[in-house]
Structures are given as structure tokens and as C-alpha cells.
Structure 1
Amino acid sequence: MDGEMKYKLIALDLDGTLLNDDHDISEQTMETVIEVSKQGAEIIVCTGRGPQNSIPFMEKMGLMGYVISHNGAATAKVETREIIHQFSMDHGALTPYIEYCREKDIHFDVNTAFEMFVESVENLKVEVRSMYENFLTLPFNLPAWTDLKDPIVKFTMFGEPAQLDEAYKEFSTWTSDLNMLRSGEYFIDLMDKEASKGNALKQFAIKRGIQQEEILAIGNYHNDITMLTYAGKGIAMDNSPIEVKAAADEITLSNNEDGVHVALLKHCLS
């Protein structure tokens, strides 16, 4: 290995992985990610967030390239904000889920690649509003389906973990073509059945001519499992649920202890 890096593509999840619990990247982790990029590896962010609230983290690190957003449903170019690939959903398939959410008073939003819609911005509960503020995002009021200019890529429910556990169980008995994911303790996401972080990463790597064994992926939640298992090396954060740790090749420190820095130091810079 004449100094050439083994991993050509580094896929990083944001929340709970690259970001600490204050939703920020620590100085140390940021410096390490930038150094790995300087050494020639391509950094790609793979997140459940949309491009508009994930691209700023790439820009903050001074990195160009791409983000895989909405759990793999939309891949966007950092410099131009252009969507280079997306998996769109049929809004008709969402009807039973919307009815369930209304009946059980579970908050939901509908996402196109760049915009997020809720039933009523004015009537958002305090905890819902602060969740959006944490994610640096501002929803709009949902228009009629026919007035949506762009395809829907993701439907998200936000609620108490116990309430969502129950919903997840219920939905698992439904016949549906959608991909359902717990993307966080307080979230359930629905997407096109082809959409996943692993699948988006695979399409991206093929386009780039990068082999599976040249990919390193780091994540911390159920929506990261497809990406961790696809990558040549999948690393779970110490703050991951047990199933995520089981799917990974190894475990690094938590997101509050610079786990990404530690993993990159070991595999890319030592």
C-alpha cells in the first residue's frame, strides 16, 4: 500500500453519528474528516434528513460532492443542490397511514426532495416545532396533492417511542409496497420500497466505479443497517441499538466521544 488509502468512499450518517447530541460536529471530528478527504477519500453524508438540512454540514467542513438524503430516497449534489437520483412515492399509498395518524393524533410530514409539508404550520405543538428547529428545517402547509410540483420521496411520523412501537407493529400487518423504517426513536419513515441508504450507496458506488470493499460506512440506527452491511467495512457507534451493533463489523466510541474521529483515525489515517 504505497500510502494509498484502502477506503475510497466514506459514508457517514449525521444524527447520532457525525453529530453529537447538540446536533453539531466537534472540532476534532471535523478536522479528521477533512484530513481523510485531503488524503483522497470521498466523503458522502447518508442521512434521514433532507438535502437542505444536511448539505450545510458538508459546506461547514468545506467539502464538495454529494449527500444521500431522506434515507436513500434522494441523492443531491452539494454545490448545485441538484437532485441526481430520487425514488418517488405514489401519494395514494399514503392514505391509510395518514388516516391512522389523524385518528391516533400522531404528527406526520410529507417530503419532496427539498420541501417538507405538514397539515398545519400554525397549529404545530411545541415539541414538534422544537424538533423542526433542532433539524434546521421549516415545514410548509400541505397543498392538494395535485399542487405538489415535485415527487414525494418520504413520509415521516413523529411521536412518543411507545406510540410509534405500536404503530410499527400495526403497520407490519398491512399489505404495503412501501419501505418502512425506524429512523430514530421518535420517528417512523415510509419510502419507496427501493429506497434505502444501502441501495443509494450501492448505486452511487457503481456510478463512481468504486468496489464494495473500498467503502467504509459509519452509522448508529436501524436506517443505517443496509449501508453498514453493504460497505466493505461497517462501523456502528457505541450509542447504537444492539441490532445495529450486530450488523456492523466493529464498534467505535459514541457520538459524544468523537467516535467518527476514532474510527477514521484507525482505518484511514494510521
Structure 2
Amino acid sequence: MYQIVFSDVDGTLLNDQHQMTPLTQQSIIWLHNKQIPFVIVSARSPSGIFPIMEENHFKSHLIAYSGALIMDEYRHILYEKGMKTALAMLIIQKLNAMNITWCVYSFDQWYVQNRQDEKIQREENIVKAQSQEASLDDLLSLPVVHKILCICRPNQTLIVEKQLKKDFPQLTIVKSSDILIEIMEQGINKAQAVKQLCQLWNIPIQKAVAFGDQYNDLDMLLEVGYGWAMGNAPKEIKKQVKYATLDNNHDGIHYALNNMNDEGKKI
């Protein structure tokens, strides 16, 4: 029997209306009754994750910023690793030169250049959290930066990602949607975070289930014993992952858990 379940949020746990479906809610209740931990693993900040738990009446550990910050259900920090602020400022200057909208995250604080930017307003509506406006001078006082988010136009995302990887090869840079690029400290990814929690609970990684739909989920899906790509995932991801389920609008998590036998294997 699998012993722990990890899930991405956007495009996985939530449908396209950014809501959890009733059948997905039922699956989490079932896991809780079976005393199987359910852990959210997201590029979001903690303040973008905890409302999901509150709205759907469950608590769990969480992995935020794709692994740069791990917290328990009481919001105690178990692990954190960020980039130096001076390096983050070099990235911001580069993004400004490219006219790219950016977000800077430090612990559970979210900083932007202009809250009236329609891209920022859309992001606030999705994650149900509020950003704060900050200048470069304000950001220089931060103790550490856990993530920088780039919000691009769809036709420029791959170009921006390629340029950033060229300019900052020492960092983890990954596309998380058609318009989003995540930048974290070197070595930060969902796979490493999942391994840390499994070690904390003495659970073999082979006994872990994970769900995801994007490129920043791929390392996690390949790391666990039972990695499931959502039906809405890109074909390139589905080709590499062992299992595939229905999409996020059609109860993909519920379907997958219902189609695994007691040994955790797909029927």
C-alpha cells in the first residue's frame, strides 16, 4: 500500500475554475481516514496554499516555492533555502530590461513593482492573496529571496527561459505554465522536497504517490514510486511518466487513487 500522496495545485488539485472538485475532496477525506498523509507541493507561496486547505477543511504539511520552503500544518518552518538578495536584484534588473513582469517572494511575503499591472491582478485573483509594492531599494533589505516569478506573454516564455538559463546557470529555472517561469536557488526542486518529507516520516520514496501537470512537476513524478501525469499535462511529460490519469476538470486525482490496488499499483 502506498504511504503518502503528494499533489501539485494549479492544473492538478484544482480545476480550471481554481476549485477542488467534490470527488477530489472525497479522496482527501478517504486518505485522512486511512491515515495516509496528503501533502500539497506547489510553486505558490504559503499564503496561496493555506486558503485551499481552509476552504476544503483539511490540514497538512506543505511544500512551497517548489521546495524552497517546507512547513508543517501549524505553519512552523521545517526547511528553507533561498538565494542571496544581491543575486536576486541582478535577476530583477535583467527582467526589467526585458520588460517582464516579476514577483519576489521571501518567506511568506510577496513583492511586486506595480499592483495595478493586470498580470499581477490576475495572479492575486488566482491565489487569493495580496502582493505588496516594493522598489529595488526595498527589496535589498530582504534577508533572503526564496523565489522570483516571471509572468510572460505566451509567445515569449521560452525565449525568456532560455536567456535566463544562459545568464544564471547556477540557479534552478523552470517553466511552470505557458506564461510562468520560476527561479529558485540551485538544487531546489519538488523531487528533493518530496524526498526530505519522506525521510522525515521514514517513508520509502517507492511508497509515495505524486500528481502533477507541468514541467516543474516532472522531477517529482519521476522520483516517487507512483508518479501520475494529469490528463491536461503536455505530451512530453506524459511520455516520460509511468502513469497518466484524467485531467484536472474530470477528477484526475480521484480516478487515479480509485484505480490503484492495495499494493499501490495501477490495476
**Secondary structure, counterpart of 1:169 in structure 2:** helix
**Long gaps (5+) in structure 2:** none
Residue correspondence of structure 1 range 57-68 to structure 2 within 5 A: 57-68=52-63
Select which of 49, 54, 61 maps to 2:49.
Answer: 54
Which position in structure 1 is the counterpart of 2:133?
141
Query: Percent of pairs identical after alignment?
Result: 25
Select which of 107, 112, 125 maps to 2:106.
Answer: 112
Tell me the distance in 2 between the aligned counterparts of 1:108 and 1:131: 11
State TM-score, norm by structure 1. 0.91
Amino acid at match of 2:146: V
Tell me the distance in 1 between the aligned counterparts of 2:104 and 2:88: 10
Select which of 16, 19, 26 maps to 1:31.
Answer: 26
Could you tell me how far 1:82 is from its partner in structure 2? 1.9
Determine if contact 2:119/2:151 at 8 Å carries over to the other structure: no
Amino acid at match of 1:32: S
Could you tell me how far 1:17 is from its partner in structure 2? 0.4
Determine if contact 1:33/1:264 at 8 Å carries over to the other structure: no
Tell me the distance in 2 between the aligned counterparts of 1:118 and 1:61: 29
State TM-score, norm by structure 2. 0.92
Determine if contact 2:210/2:220 at 8 Å carries over to the other structure: yes
**Number of aligned residue pairs:** 261
Tell me the distance in 2 between the aligned counterparts of 1:173 and 1:109: 20
The answer to whether 1:162 aligns with 2:140 is: no
Determine if contact 2:86/2:140 at 8 Å carries over to the other structure: no
RMSD in angstroms over aligned alpha carbons?
1.7
**Secondary structure, counterpart of 1:45 in structure 2:** strand
Determine if contact 1:228/1:247 at 8 Å carries over to the other structure: no
Could you tell me how far 1:52 is from its partner in structure 2? 1.0
Question: Structure 1's 118 and 175: CA in aligned 2 closer, same or farther, altered over 3 A?
Answer: closer
Which position in structure 1 is the counterpart of 2:192?
199
Tell me the distance in 2 between the aligned counterparts of 1:108 and 1:175: 16
Question: More displaced, 183-192 or 99-108?
Answer: 99-108
Which position in structure 1 is the counterpart of 2:164?
171
Tell me the distance in 2 between the aligned counterparts of 1:268 and 1:208: 23
**Long gaps (5+) in structure 1:** 1-5
Amino acid at match of 1:92: A
